[in-house]
Structure 1
Amino acid sequence: MAKDSGQSQGKRRIRGGRTHVRVALYMATLSSVRWDPEMRAHYQQLRARGKVGKVALVACMRKLLGIVNARRRDELASAQ
C-alpha cells in the first residue's frame, strides 16, 4: 500500500511470499549476476535501459526462479 502525501512519496516493498525463500533467492541472484555470464548480460542490459539496480536485480530474481522451476520440472519428468 502506498502511503503518499502530496509531494512526499513513501517507499514500496515486496511483502508477499515466504521470507526465507525470498532471501535465499536474492542471495543466489547476487552470486548469479556476478559469476554467470548470461545472467550478468541480462542484468547489464536492464541497467543500460535505465533500470535502478534493485529493480534490475528483482527482474533477475524472477528469471532465476523460472530457470530453477524449469530444471525441477525436467528432473521430475525424467524420473518417471
Structure 2
Amino acid sequence: MMVKTERKAMGKSNKIKNTDRNGILLALEKDLEFIKSVATNHKNWNEETARAVTKLIGWGSVERVLKIGKKARSLKKSHAREWEI
C-alpha cells in the first residue's frame, strides 16, 4: 500500500488522463481482459466479487463491472477488442 508521500512523488505522469488515446484504449482493454479472466475463473461471479475487482482496477461502478463480467462469461471471444459492449 502506498502512503501519501509516495503518491505525490509519482506525480501526474502515471495518471491515465495525461496519456494519449492509444494509451487509454490499451488500459481499457487490459481492464476488460482482467474482468473477463476473473469472471470466467471464479466459481461464483456475484456482486461481492465484482466489488473486489472494481477496487483492484480503480473503476467507480460495481454494477458496470458485474454486467461486463456476466457478459464476458457468456462470450467465446478471448480479446477485449472483439467485444461489443
Shorter chain as denominator, the TM-score bin is 0.3 to 0.5
Larger RCO (CA within 8 A; separation ≥ 6) = 2
What TM-score results when the alignment is normalised by the length of structure 1? 0.33
The structure having more radius of gyration, on CA atoms, is: 1
What TM-score results when the alignment is normalised by the length of structure 2? 0.31
